[in-house]
Amino acid sequence: MMWIFLGAPGAGKGTQAERLQQDFGFVQISTGELLREAMRAGTELGKTVQGYVTRGDLVPDEVVASVLQERLVRGDTGTGVILDGFPRTVRQAEILEEMLAEHCWQLCGVLYLEASEEVVQQRLGGRRNCPQCGANYHVVTMPPKVEGRCDRCGAQLVVRPDDTPEAIRKRLEVYREQTEPLVAFYDQRGMLERIDASGEVDEVYRAVKEAVSRRWQRCLEKG
């Protein structure tokens, strides 16, 4: 069984997917990590991906889908799969539908985490990262004990390049243009579950868990 998380950057997709993975035994699959893994492994597919990355080109939809398919057929996906970062475009969603039909996989639901642009900007703009040990913080929801310093190693915290105001605006613009059309795409197919993601993490997770439980039961009934 397969689940897709949709939502703008900062909507909380990764956080909620991680909790679902722990509670339901789902396997969270990040296409970004898969691409990096393929390049590190030096496979033929990885070399193809490396070529696009080296040239600074976007990896074509079909190549990303091939990397994902290679991961899905390993047979270690447990009770279900959560796709993180795929599909990002309607074309990728169409390719995914073809993959599902070919392998008799079942898409149980698409969870759309809705949060206002103001909330998203606040979440992303408040994030801080430790360049030394990789620890993550937020100036409001998860501040370090000493302002500007990592609790683990004491290093000076930094704002990641993709969390600067300019980068956030660009990420939201790309999301609106390329990914937001997927909301209508899956809504028309009766797969979409809208989740208010503007609240606290636990509150949002309760709604996510209820939606997953409801959709999962439907999938089991369909067989």
pLDDT value, residue 223: 66
Catalytic residue among 71, 127, 128, 215: 127
The reply to whether 194 falls in a domain is yes
Q: What angle do CA 125, 207, 78 make, to 5 degrees?
A: 95
> Is 194 a catalytic site residue?
no
For strands 81-84 and 127-129, give the pairing: unpaired
**Residue 128 backbone class (left: φ over 0; alpha: ψ -120 to 50; beta: rest):** beta
The reply to whether 211 falls in a domain is yes
Average pLDDT over residues 120-142: 90
Q: Specify the CATH number for the domain of residue 91.
A: 3.40.50.300
pLDDT value, residue 182: 96
Is the distance from CB of 96 to CB of 189 less than 8 angstroms?
no
> Is 19 a catalytic site residue?
no
Catalytic residue among 40, 47, 152, 160: 160
The reply to whether 87 falls in a domain is yes
Residue 49: C-alpha distances to residues 56, 87, 194, 202 (Å): 11, 17, 34, 38
The reply to whether 101 falls in a domain is yes
Catalytic residue among 36, 91, 171, 209: 171
Q: Is the pLDDT of residue 98 over 90?
A: yes
Q: In the β-sheet with 192-196, what is the strand arrangement from edge to edge?
A: 27-30, 81-84, 2-7, 107-114, 192-196
Structural domains of the chain, count: 1
> Is 160 a catalytic site residue?
yes
Domain of 205?
2-26+78-115+179-222
For strands 107-114 and 2-7, give the pairing: parallel
The reply to whether 138 falls in a domain is no
Q: What angle do CA 14, 87, 73 make, to 5 degrees?
A: 90
> Is 170 a catalytic site residue?
no
- In the chain, the largest separation of any two C-alpha atoms, in whole Å, equals 54
Residue 35 — very low, low, confident or very high, per pLDDT cuts 50/70/90?
Answer: confident
Q: Is 123 exposed, middle or buried (0-12, 13-18, 19+ CB in 10 A)?
A: buried
Q: Is the pLDDT of residue 110 over 90?
A: yes
The reply to whether 121 falls in a domain is no
The reply to whether 67 falls in a domain is no
Residue 219 — very low, low, confident or very high, per pLDDT cuts 50/70/90?
Answer: confident
> Is 169 a catalytic site residue?
no
Averaged confidence pLDDT in the chain: 90
Q: Which residue has the tokens 């990355």?
A: 53
Q: For 148-169, what is each residue's pLDDT tens digit? A: 999 999 999 999 887 888 888 8
The reply to whether 56 falls in a domain is no
